[in-house]
Structure 1
Amino acid sequence: MSEAKFRLMHTMLRVKDLEKSIDFYTRLLGMKLLRRNEFPDGKFTLAFVGYGPEQDNAVIELTYNWDKPEGYQLGTAYGHIALGVRDIYGICKELEANGANVPRKPGPMMHGTTNIAFVEDPDGYKIELIDLDTMVWG
């Protein structure tokens, strides 16, 4: 089988507080900080987080623009990032106990049987948690 022409590399999110965002994605969601690059001439910092090396996995690029401390408008076109989990109820309980906002509590999705939940990162970006034990593939 030949290598695909394209590969998903990363999703970029602009963040207001880089340290708070890194903490959320690493401590609460279990990702690793893969690299962090400062660009003084451009006045921005990039931090890449994920579950495995960038060479083999899609990751999230957290972009902090030094001259934009007030934050960003999320807009209506952005949807969410999805993460597969086991024990969605326990995970959501743990996330809330650690201060995360879970605006959509775990339960069956509308018009389906897969259990889902939504958590928000420090900037309000939505992350869908999908219960792999109830996921219907295909």
Structure 2
Amino acid sequence: MRMLHTMLRVENLEKSLDFYVNTMGMTLLRQSENPQYEYSLAFVGYGDEADTAVLELTYNWDGQTYDKGNAYGHVAFEVDDIYSFCEQLEASGADVYRKPGPVKGGSTVIAFVRDPDGYAIELISPKQ
């Protein structure tokens, strides 16, 4: 058994794809539209779906906005050079709302950025 993907509902698929592909450096693996049920899907990731878990971005054509609620936490990604990556994110206009630094009570270096829909993404430096 293995994890396949995490699905996020997005309000603007093009804006989300720009963020995940051009800002976060992911690859658009596949994309489809379902006119009968009025939704689009885009799968993005850092590797092939056969080997790694990916994100499924779901865009419903009804224009609905979504309440993130208080149960969602974040999606986490390991980043080789977290300081440089966060600088790149900020230079591209991304909201790095928790700058890189040690986690409270520990030594692991983390940071947090928001995607265009406000979803939290934790960036984690590799463990030494």
Normalising by structure 2, we get a TM-score of 0.97
Residue from 21, 26, 30 that aligns with 1:31 = 26
Once the two structures are TM-superposed, the CA of residue 52 in structure 1 deviates from its matched residue by: 1.2
Q: TM-score, normalised by structure 1?
A: 0.90
2:71 aligns with one of 59, 77, 98 = 77
Alignment match of 1:56 (pick from 35, 47, 51):
51
Q: Alignment RMSD, CA only?
A: 0.9
SS at match of 1:123: coil
Q: 4+ runs of 1 displaced by more than 4 Å?
A: none
Q: Which has the larger radius of gyration?
A: 1
CA distance in 1, matches of 2:116, 2:16: 6
Aligned sequence identity (%): 60
Corresponding residue pairs, total: 128
Deviations 1:81-129 (A, max 9, x none): 1100122111111100100001101100011100100000000001100
Give 5+ residue unaligned stretches, structure 2: none
Long gaps (5+) in structure 1: 1-5
> How big is each residue's C-alpha offset from its partner over 1:9-55, in whole Å with a ceiling of 9 and x where there is no partner?
00000000000001100111111000001000110000000011111
